[in-house]
Amino acid sequence: MKIAIVLLAILNLTGAQAQNREPIIRTDVPLDSIRLSDPFILPDKNTSTYYMTGTGGMMWKSKDLQKWTGPFKVAKTDPASWMGPDPMIWAAELHYYKNKYYYFATFTNKNVKIDTVKGNVIERRACHILVSETPDGPYLPMKDPVYLPASMPTLDGTLWVEDEKPYLIYCYEWLQNWNGTIEKIELKSDLSGSIGKSKLLFRASESPWSKERDDKGNIVPNKVTDGPWLFRTQTGKLGMLWTSWVFDAYTQGIAYSESGKLAGPWIHEKQIFTPPNFGHGMLFRTFEGKFLLSVHSHTSNKTGRYIRVPRLFEVDDSGDKIILGPAYPHRN
């Protein structure tokens, strides 16, 4: 798990740097020139604009998915809250729900320590939701100060609506439980807080494709759950993208709900969905009707620093299971 721990440290650094400086706005930036982890794209029909967010708390805008303008600061957190004056922001998503725009993200206050497990000091980190009247922001806090227990490190929250009830789907981080989970908790109707207790959907160890070596050199399931994203195929099948590791390769997999409901049971595909070193994906449909996967590539340079670049792939969702297509746009 050394790779995952190093990755967390690098994300901490880049997130903090993004928060501490005023961005220089650039125009006509090609997608593959942007360095961004966990790229999320909202196609907003109200403005005919694509909005991209991710780790670092910044936003990019585009009319065609090829040339982008940004980055813009859009999250306005409360410095008196548990987040502190300068929280790191990971894996931000934008959701249009009941005529408002919501900013789902993971916030970390490095100055607050909640636990130490197997030598790892765990910082105060949790999923939280901000709101705005417009997709451009600013995104502001709502009523409830917390959505999930302060004693648990949680991350990568996303929205899913089932039987007209909104839910926060998120990861309970492996650094504390040593076997990461994906869980659900019901949200209030205006998303301003959570209701009741969370329920387990599945554990990292249930995956047949994620792998690592334990202290004795045995091959065992990986501990990491990362980046859940739920979808339905055109036939109505409920699926979930999520990410873990195959040894040193950051990798995207899929699980499908046998019941068609969040409660599952969730049956994991035996094979990975994308090539190795692509992860934290989400799906969206373009204004022209093309179904795409937004994901980041995961490589390292000569210094060992991770480089993450947003990538798009076509996806076929016409059957019970989605099928990965070619990179988008096509290159000659």
What does the alpha-carbon distance between residue 167 and residue 160 come to, in Å, rounded to a whole number? 5
Position 235 scores a pLDDT of 98
Asked if 244 and 224 touch (Cβ cutoff 8 Å), the reply is yes
Position 304 scores a pLDDT of 80
Position 296 scores a pLDDT of 98
Asked if 266 and 202 touch (Cβ cutoff 8 Å), the reply is yes
The residue behind tokens 């705005």 is 132
Position 188 scores a pLDDT of 98
- What's the Rg (C-alpha) of the chain? 19
Which structure tokens are listed for 74? Answer: 């859009």
One digit per residue, the tens of pLDDT, for the chain of length 332 reads: 444 444 444 444 344 444 556 789 999 999 999 999 999 999 999 999 999 999 999 999 999 999 999 999 999 999 999 999 999 999 999 999 999 999 999 999 999 999 999 999 999 999 999 999 999 999 999 999 999 999 999 999 999 999 999 999 999 999 999 999 999 999 999 999 999 999 999 999 999 999 999 999 999 999 999 999 999 999 999 999 999 999 999 999 999 999 999 999 999 999 999 999 999 999 999 999 999 999 999 988 888 888 999 999 999 999 999 999 999 997 65
Contacts of 308 (CB under 8 A, 6+ apart): 35, 36, 37, 296, 297, 298
> By residue range, what is the domain housing residue 283?
2-328
Contacts of 271 (CB under 8 A, 6+ apart): 209
What does the alpha-carbon distance between residue 3 and residue 13 come to, in Å, rounded to a whole number? 15
Nearest to 144 by CA among 113, 87, 186: 186
How many distinct structural domains can be found in the chain? Answer: 1
DSSP state of 151: T
Position 303 scores a pLDDT of 84
The residue behind tokens 């548990």 is 82
Contacts of 285 (CB under 8 A, 6+ apart): 43, 291, 292
Which structure tokens are listed for 287? Answer: 């204004």
DSSP symbols for 85-125:
SS-EEEEEEEEEETTEEEEEEEEEEEEEEEEEETTEEEEEE
The secondary structure element, H or E, covering residue 158 is strand 154-162
Contacts of 68 (CB under 8 A, 6+ apart): 28, 29, 30, 31, 34, 52, 60, 61, 62
What does the alpha-carbon distance between residue 236 and residue 231 come to, in Å, rounded to a whole number? 9
Which structure tokens are listed for 42? Answer: 């909202």
The residue behind tokens 């969040």 is 262
| Exposure string for 87-107, b = 16+ CB within 10 A, e = fewer | bbbbbbbbbbeeeebbbbbbb
CATH assignment of the domain containing 233:
2.115.10.20
